[in-house]
Amino acid sequence: MTSKQLEDDGFVTVEKRFKYMSIGGAGNNSKRSKNKKKNRYVFKDSIDYTLNDLEPILAQRREALGDSQFYKDLLDILEQQLIPTQPQELICYGIGSMQHSKNAQYQFILALLLRDMLKSVEKVSIYDPVMTELDKELSKSYNIDVIETNEDGKRKVSRPTLFYMPHCGRGLYSNTLSANWDKESLPNVIMIANRFDMYVGTQLERDLRRECPYLIPAVELVDCTSFPKEFDDNKVFNDLSVITFPKTSVENVKDSYWDDVPVEKVEE
Ligand SMILES: C[S@@+](CC[C@H](N)C(=O)[O-])C[C@H]1O[C@@H](n2cnc3c(N)ncnc32)[C@H](O)[C@@H]1O
């Protein structure tokens, strides 16, 4: 399939598959022949995709991403900020559905590129509640482990782990931090996520305490490098950053820091 055949999000033209199909029975009149010409392009809804439909779409996404200036600039950032952290695991939360979403397709491709780049990674896992059976089949075909239960992002890690969480909800980011909120675990958490200071300092403290309390103290500990600007329609990788918790920052805080998270219970 050529890139010309690839249409906007959600649809793929399958001209070849239908091109030679008979449209009607015997006795073609001229009107029918005209229709036949008009109907040369048949659109397939993503709901009907199989792996055979998705693979060429992903190949085209990979080409577009790989050829972009955005990716060239991103490589510099990843080489400096991510590769030295040597993550041994890559957990992908919240990519969405590769079957149905262009963002998810590009973000999935970046996960594959990250795995290739990070030689230290031994295992890749993925979870999003909206993943379809086809998304799971696709992931497994790339040797990515599909997490079967909803962890709500609360995975505790004991070795350097990259949490790839593009455009996830702030509560999910906070959950991942909460599961690793101590001196030993936090430096093992490396994230690709929205910058935390997008929320902290710009939104009501009361809302933050209720919805994502761990982001509040975390902003003081993070080292954060933004992704380059502008790719595609600027909705795929916008506002993302590489976030680390350097040991030096984590070890410098008082012991009470870990207990003083301003968690506010949601009223029943
Ligand atoms: C704002 S969407 C972002 C989707 C996609 N990454 C994008 O940039 O378009 C947030 C995603 O987080 C997913 N999500 C919600 N709860 C989750 C959970 N507990 N674990 C993993 N992903 C979750 C949603 O299903 C959704 O796909």
Residue 11 scores a pLDDT above 50: no
Q: The tokens of 261 are what?
A: 């998270």
Indicate which residue's Cα is closest to atom 8 of ligand 1: 167
Does the pLDDT at position 219 exceed 70? Answer: yes
Per-residue pLDDT tens over the stretch 182-208:
999 999 999 999 999 989 988 888 899
The predicted model gives 73-99 an average pLDDT of 98
Question: Which residue's CA is the nearest one to ligand 1's atom 10?
Answer: 168
- Model pLDDT for residues 126-136, shown as the tens digit of each residue: 999 999 999 99
What predicted TM-score, i.e. pTM, was given to this entire model? 0.87
Q: Report pLDDT for 8.
A: 40
How far away, in angstroms, is 168 Cα from ligand 1 center?
Answer: 5
Domains, the chain, ordered by start? 3-47 (no CATH), 50-258 (3.40.50.720)
Q: What does 189-245 look like in DSSP terms, one character per residue?
A: EEEEEE-GGGTTTTS-HHHHHHH-TTHHHHTTT-EEEEPPS--TTTTSSTTEEEEE-
Spacing, Cα 93 to ligand 1 middle (Å): 7
